[in-house]
Chain A
Amino acid sequence: MAIAHGERARAPLAPASIKAAAGYSLPTFAAVIWFALGAVTFGWPQAQAWPYTLAFALGATGLGLLVLLSALLAQFWPPLAQRVRTGTPWIALLGGLFLLWEILTAKLALLPVPFFQPPQSLLEVFLEDYQRLGESVLRSVWLLARGYLIGAVAGVVLGMAMGWSPKVNYWSHPILRFIGPLPATAWLPLAFFIFPTSASASVFLIALATGFPVAILTWSGVASVSSAYYDIARTLGANSRFLILKVALPAAMPHIFVGLFMGLGASFAVLVVAEMMGVKAGLGWYLQWAQGWAAYNNMYAGLLVMALMCSGLVALLFRLRDRLLAWQKGLVRW
């Protein structure tokens, strides 16, 4: 008992000392890297004058100061301490990579120029072309949202109907099996010909790409619901509406979410291709446009923004799943 007490008294000390050490040394290290990036960018003469070199140097130095400041504040505010501890190694690594990039391009000019430009030219794109980039993001999100929502709803409805009614299943299943594996982009020429506008054609294609995996997984989810679940509800007075909405749908929800994630991935691919081929707006178009003008820094910026958009949307879907499927937390590893 005494030993247990002693251990309990000593136990918090060890993590605290680690925290103190990490609280000082790692953020300091990260800040030094970013300071070095600022100093190298500003002080090392360049083979070629790049715009925004000073702004980039100042930004790097500012970020270093921000790291130091948050490490300092974390001493007084524990929630920030957790974030600082998990984030700092990555901030240090990113600073190192930027430093390497800056030296290889702007300072030593070792890499061929139009394809590889220093980080400050990326900054240039964001500072000068933010309007066009921003509009492209909004257009992409709007197009994607329409197609994805239509596809997701249609997929869930069709999957539920297939799981519920043998007749619907008999007629839909072979069609899904035959047409489903076809990539939605293969319909592109036909869709642009049939639909009045390229935007409506793209909405249709995105909905198709989303709807197929959602329908298949919803169907398999409903099909795998234990018949005892229905028996229970029926003996307690449930009608078929209740059985569909309150038993089959929630029971199939984990499957449905797998379909929604697959559909989201497929919809990104269709979105970019559709924007490159016909829509003349959005991030896909921006990439195409940047390539046409050999504006490679714009292309990198566009790719970066697209990565942020896609990962942001996936994170949003994860959020939704965590809310709706909170009951699974004790059953499945997330």
Chain B
Amino acid sequence: MVGSTASNPAVADGLAVSVQGLSHSFALGDQHLPVLDHVDLDLRPGNFVAILGPSGCGKSTLLRLAAGLERPAAGRITADGRTINDPDPERVLVFQDPTLYPWRTVRANVGLGLEARGLLRTQRHRIDEALQLVGLEGFKEAYPHQLSGGMAQRASLARALVNDPRLLLLDEPLGKLDSLTRLSMQSELVRLWQEKGFTALLVTHDVEEAIFMAERIVVMSPRPARILDEIVNDLPYPRHRGDERMHGLRRRALALLGLDASW
């Protein structure tokens, strides 16, 4: 991780996140469905951590808890030492669906956070900056239905970045994109992370994506999710997909997920 810290000069901007003894369950009628089981995890400021696990294991719940959209049944998550109870614009969630508001133009969608906090008048220029950052400056006045899937996801990324988040929570943000767009967006996300210096927590079930993008890959069990093991990828950025050293990491991840028979 030394190499990545060096390539990430703005590292002080990121939040330090600590997940401590976190358990959570959903109520299903009178039954309780446990989804997270004693999860402990520490993210240093500016870390890029991927959470890898089978679908439906509770990874997304962890992100919702970190965003403050729900409160955990047991344990806690802290940001810079303070317990997370409520949403805060310094911790922004990017969903698998772009969830842009169809009645707003791209510009108005990206400005949502500024508008909600009453900063629109003074900081309008940040909308343009964010759109430039994701390469959508030509589509300010477009409505979401006029965008392709990749462009819509870029717009939702700009909507998150305009708030200068210190923690970016990525809930399979590339899961619904076609594979070519997905590859280019992976590199772009890494570039944005290096430029901005936020802490990033990525949930994915794509082994290759996790290993290509993150410094640490936390592998989780099927529901209720526990941490099985952690894989450290200290290869420097920019990384190359063909790098031989990635193969070993991939094999280890697949083994932890019980899929190494296909290797």
Residues of A at the B interface (CB closer than 8 Å) are 226, 228-229, 231-239, 242, 246-247, 250-251, 253, 325, 327-328, 330-331
A238 to B116, CA, bound (A): 5
Q: Which of A231, A239, A330 contacts B93 (CB 8 A)?
A: A231
User: Quick check: A237 and B101 within 8 Å, CB to CB?
Assistant: no
User: Quick check: A247 and B101 within 8 Å, CB to CB?
Assistant: yes
**Could you show 27 A-B contacts with beta carbons less than 8 Å apart?**
A228-B95, A231-B64, A231-B93, A232-B93, A232-B99, A233-B112, A234-B69, A235-B67, A235-B89, A235-B91, A236-B113, A236-B117, A236-B163, A237-B88, A237-B163, A238-B116, A242-B115, A250-B103, A325-B103, A327-B102, A327-B103, A327-B104, A328-B102, A328-B103, A330-B145, A330-B146, A331-B102
| Additional 14 contacts, C-beta under 8 A, given A231-B95, A235-B93, A238-B112 | A228-B97, A231-B67, A231-B69, A234-B69, A235-B91, A237-B88, A237-B113, A239-B116, A246-B116, A250-B103, A251-B101, A327-B102, A328-B102, A330-B143
Question: Is B159 located at the chain interface by the 8 A CB criterion?
Answer: yes
A291–chain B nearest beta-carbon distance, Å: 48
B112: nearest chain-A partner, CB-CB: A236
Residues of B at the A interface (CB closer than 8 Å) are 64, 67-69, 87-89, 91-93, 95, 97, 99, 101-104, 112-113, 115-117, 143, 145-146, 159, 163
B90: nearest chain-A partner, CB-CB: A237
B242–chain A nearest beta-carbon distance, Å: 37
User: Quick check: B103 and A253 within 8 Å, CB to CB?
Assistant: yes
Given contacts A236-B112, A236-B163, A246-B115, contact A229 B99 (CB under 8 A): yes
A223–chain B nearest beta-carbon distance, Å: 18
Given contacts A247-B101, A250-B101, A327-B143, contact A233 B95 (CB under 8 A): no
Given contacts A228-B97, A247-B101, contact A236 B145 (CB under 8 A): no
User: Quick check: A236 and B116 within 8 Å, CB to CB?
Assistant: yes
A250 to B115, CA, bound (A): 15
A226 to B145, CA, bound (A): 17
Residues of B within 8 A of A228 (CB): 95, 97, 99
Residues of B within 8 A of A233 (CB): 112, 116
A232 to B87, CA, bound (A): 10
Residues of A within 8 A of B88 (CB): 235, 237
Residues of B within 8 A of A235 (CB): 67-69, 87-89, 91-93
A30 to B104, CA, bound (A): 47
A330 to B143, CA, bound (A): 9
Given contacts A246-B115, A330-B146, contact A237 B99 (CB under 8 A): no
A167–chain B nearest beta-carbon distance, Å: 21
Residues of A within 8 A of B87 (CB): 234-235, 237
Residues of A within 8 A of B143 (CB): 327, 330
A173–chain B nearest beta-carbon distance, Å: 23
B158–chain A nearest beta-carbon distance, Å: 12
Residues of A within 8 A of B145 (CB): 330-331
B123–chain A nearest beta-carbon distance, Å: 13
A331 to B103, CA, bound (A): 11
> Top 7 nearest A-B pairs by Cβ distance?
A236-B113, A238-B116, A237-B89, A237-B117, A234-B87, A228-B99, A235-B87
> Residue among B87, B116, B159 with the most chain A CB within 10 A?
B116
A236 to B97, CA, bound (A): 16
B164–chain A nearest beta-carbon distance, Å: 12
B186–chain A nearest beta-carbon distance, Å: 23
Residues of B within 8 A of A232 (CB): 93, 95, 99, 112, 159
Q: Which of A236, A246, A251, A328 contacts B159 (CB 8 A)?
A: A236
